Amino acid sequence: MTTFKTLLVGAAVGALLAVAGVAAAMAVLNPTAADVATRMADQASDPNEPPTFYGSR
């Protein structure tokens, strides 16, 4: 019975770490709207030139 408890506790801790890791990764990978607006404002030199997030030809 003790082995089963240990297994459940280990699974719960692993799931908690996985959720925290995914949340941290999403926070790093998804910039806020303010970050995007700041980058776009810094980049806006020529209004006829498309933004760099469209890629290049």
Residue 38, in any domain of the structure: yes
Residue 54, in any domain of the structure: no
At 29, the amino acid letter reads L
Domain membership of residue 31 as a residue range: 2-44
Looking at the structure of the chain, the number of domains it has is 1
| pLDDT for residue 33 | 80
Instruction: For residue range 41-51, list pLDDT tens digits in order.
Output: 766 666 677 66
SS3 content of the chain, % helix, strand, coil (to 5): 75, 0, 25
| pLDDT for residue 56 | 62
Residue 10, in any domain of the structure: yes
Residue 19, in any domain of the structure: yes
Per-position pLDDT tens, the chain of length 57: 789 999 999 999 999 999 999 999 988 888 788 887 787 776 666 667 766 666 666
Residue 52, in any domain of the structure: no
**Which pTM value belongs to this model?**
0.52
Check: CB of residue 51 under 8 Å from CB of residue 43.
yes
Residue 55, in any domain of the structure: no
| pLDDT for residue 29 | 85
Residue 9, in any domain of the structure: yes
